[in-house]
Structure 1
Amino acid sequence: MQTLKNSQIMDNEIKELMIPEEKVAHVQLNNPLDHALLVLIKSGYTAIPVLDKDYKVCGQISKAQILDSILGIERIEMERLHEIKVKDVMSEKIPRMNKDETFGKALTLSINHPFVCIEDDMGSFIGILTRRSILALINRYLRK
Structure 2
Amino acid sequence: MISLQSSKVLGATIKDLIIPAERVAHVQVKNNLEHALLVLTKTGYTAVPVLDPKYRLHGLVSTTHIMDSILGLERIEFDKLEHMIVEDVMNKELPCLNVTDTVEKGLELLVDHPFVCVQDENDVFEGILTRRTILDRLITHFQTNETKKDPEA
TM-score (norm 2): 0.86
Report the Cα offset of residue 64 of structure 1: 1.1
User: Which residue of structure 2 aligns with residue 47 of structure 1?
Assistant: 47
Letter in 2 for 1:138: L
Q: CA RMSD in A?
A: 1.4
Query: Which position in structure 1 is the counterpart of 2:110?
Result: 110
- Measured in 1, the distance between the counterparts of 2:62 and 2:126 equals 20
The answer to whether structure 1 residue 76 and structure 2 residue 76 are counterparts is yes
Asked whether the equivalents of residues 96 and 118 of structure 1 are also in contact (C-alpha less than 8 Å), the reply is yes
Alignment deviations for residues 61-88 of structure 1 (CA, whole Å, 9 cap, x no partner):
0111111111111111111111111011
SS at match of 1:34: helix
| Equivalences for residues 1-144 of structure 1 within 5 A | 1-4=1-4, 6-8=5-7, 9-143=9-143, 144=146
Q: In 1, distance between residues paired with 2:11 and 2:132? A: 19
Structure 2 regions of 5+ residues with no counterpart? 147-153
Q: CA deviation at 1:7?
A: 3.7
Length-normalised TM-score, structure 1 = 0.91
Q: Name the aligned partner's letter for residue 85 of structure 1.
A: I
CA distance in 2 between partners of 1:131 and 1:65 (Å): 22
Identity %: 49
Which stretch has the larger CA shift, 128-137 or 23-32?
128-137
Distance 2:76 2:2 in 1: 50
The alpha carbon displacement at 1:3 in A equals: 3.2
Could you tell me which runs of 5 or more consecutive residues in structure 1 were left unpaired when the two chains were aligned: none
> Distance in 2 between the 1:3 and 1:45 partners?
34
Larger Rg: 2
Contact 1:2 1:141 in 2 (8 A): no
